[in-house]
Structure 1
């Protein structure tokens, strides 16, 4: 019988110290339920240190990625206060193992909504929308993992930046965007890459958070998932994403 609490301690220590660990799947593949339980236990260790959950992030929002990983649904992880980076601010490479960045869409929750809802019902529960950048950082060696591994590691959640909030009825379905590093475009894409419509990821977020007894509350943030492939980061990099309609956001990497 595997020790889920011990695994939670291992992955939490790795995130706290920015060190790599072997994939748990090297010994035995974790089930989806086991991966989520380890994630929950590891996050409660963070909360005990004074951190606070302020939202959730969605992953595997591409159907192709779900098929590749053998899933028929999205995955999700918790966002906490210590993960938030001010727009235009800096992050220290010393706090990460091998960080990468993805452009995303963020939703700010206005009132509690839980269970199975429509996209319209979900958007009616939103106070605002914004462009975002998520810093992902798998704690596993070589950024390699299976489904159970990544769930245990809080779906690689490590940091995020939120741009200015816009009206909740802003059209988010097919906004063009450019992700640049040091002024050079590295990814060009569209918010349509997020399940064809980022609101579908919001619907899934509401459903999945409620299923584990953590319904989204007023003030919570939902990151809807990556709109392009992730780009690796290095010390000295200046990251900027320009979104059609929503403007631009960025941050820099220091030692």
Structure 2
């Protein structure tokens, strides 16, 4: 039997001590349902310390990443208010941070079915996610990354806009004024709305509902890039303005 609480404690310790650990499956292989149980317990550590749920993030939303990981469905992680970055992000609390541009949805009312999730969207924005695998060398298996809350670390977003078609939004990410990634929201499952529906499906399947005020990070439109200290990052989306963060 795999000790879910012990595995979650190992990952929580890695986060708090800012130290990479070996893949959990090296010592005790486990399956995807067990991985999600570890993820939920990991987030409960944060909740017990006073953080609150603030949304969900989607992963493996590109066909190339699915093929690479040998899966045919997306994965998801849970967000808390303690993960939301302000104008600055302290990288001293992260092990090997990377950043990627995101399409972000704001949930306006409780979502009780997949069919109603799109009508429950109150706003859309461009944003970013800062990833930080807690594993050595940023290497993991599918169960490992799910247990590690899909490598979630920090996130941010720009001004909210009225809901609209986001199936082909051009995105640009710059670090210190230098373009480092360009792409289209179409890279997110062909349309980020599909990722939004998947978020509702996975949440409901786990006995949760997307709540008013929560956000959904629809997934990366480009590959993540290493994030240096003392840098200024700006992500812009056509018709959506921008989101910025300075690292220290």
Measured in 2, the distance between the counterparts of 1:34 and 1:9 equals 15
Measured in 2, the distance between the counterparts of 1:189 and 1:205 equals 22
Q: CA deviation at 1:216?
A: 0.5
SS for the counterpart of 1:225 is strand
Match of 2:102 among 92, 101, 104: 104
* 8 Å Cα contact 2:2/2:28 also seen in 1: no
* 8 Å Cα contact 2:126/2:242 also seen in 1: yes
Measured in 2, the distance between the counterparts of 1:122 and 1:116 equals 5
Match of 2:12 in 1: 12
Q: CA deviation at 1:92?
A: 1.1
Query: TM-score, normalised to structure 1's length?
Result: 0.94
- After TM superposition, list the pairs within 5 Å mapping 1:18-57 onto structure 2: 18-57=18-57
Alpha-carbon displacement from aligned partner over 1:206-251 (angstroms, at most 9, x marks no partner): 0100111111011111000000000101111111112110011111
* 8 Å Cα contact 2:2/2:30 also seen in 1: no
* 8 Å Cα contact 1:131/1:248 also seen in 2: yes
Matched, 1:165 2:177: no
Q: CA deviation at 1:253?
A: 1.0
Matched, 1:239 2:233: yes
Aligned length: 248
Q: CA deviation at 1:122?
A: 2.5
- After TM superposition, list the pairs within 5 Å mapping 1:198-217 onto structure 2: 198-217=192-211
Q: CA deviation at 1:114?
A: 3.0
Measured in 2, the distance between the counterparts of 1:85 and 1:92 equals 9
Q: CA deviation at 1:123?
A: 1.7
Match of 1:95 among 93, 96, 99: 93
Task: Name the CA shift for 1:45/1:132 in 2 (closer, same or farther; >3 Å).
Answer: same
Q: CA deviation at 1:27?
A: 2.3
Matched, 1:113 2:107: no
SS for the counterpart of 2:29 is coil
Match of 1:194 among 166, 180, 188: 188
State which drifts further: 132-141 or 27-36.
Answer: 27-36
Consecutive unaligned residues in structure 2, runs of 5 or more: none
* 8 Å Cα contact 1:14/1:139 also seen in 2: yes
* 8 Å Cα contact 2:69/2:142 also seen in 1: yes
Q: CA deviation at 1:6?
A: 0.3
Match of 1:128 among 123, 128, 131: 123
Runs (4 or more) in structure 1 with deviation over 6 Å come to none
Measured in 2, the distance between the counterparts of 1:206 and 1:245 equals 26
Measured in 2, the distance between the counterparts of 1:142 and 1:253 equals 22
SS for the counterpart of 1:54 is strand
SS for the counterpart of 1:124 is helix
Matched, 1:178 2:172: yes
Measured in 1, the distance between the counterparts of 2:136 and 2:112 equals 36
Measured in 2, the distance between the counterparts of 1:38 and 1:207 equals 20
Matched, 1:225 2:219: yes
Alpha-carbon displacement from aligned partner over 1:136-170 (angstroms, at most 9, x marks no partner): 100101100010110110000100011100001x2
Measured in 2, the distance between the counterparts of 1:98 and 1:127 equals 34
SS for the counterpart of 2:124 is strand
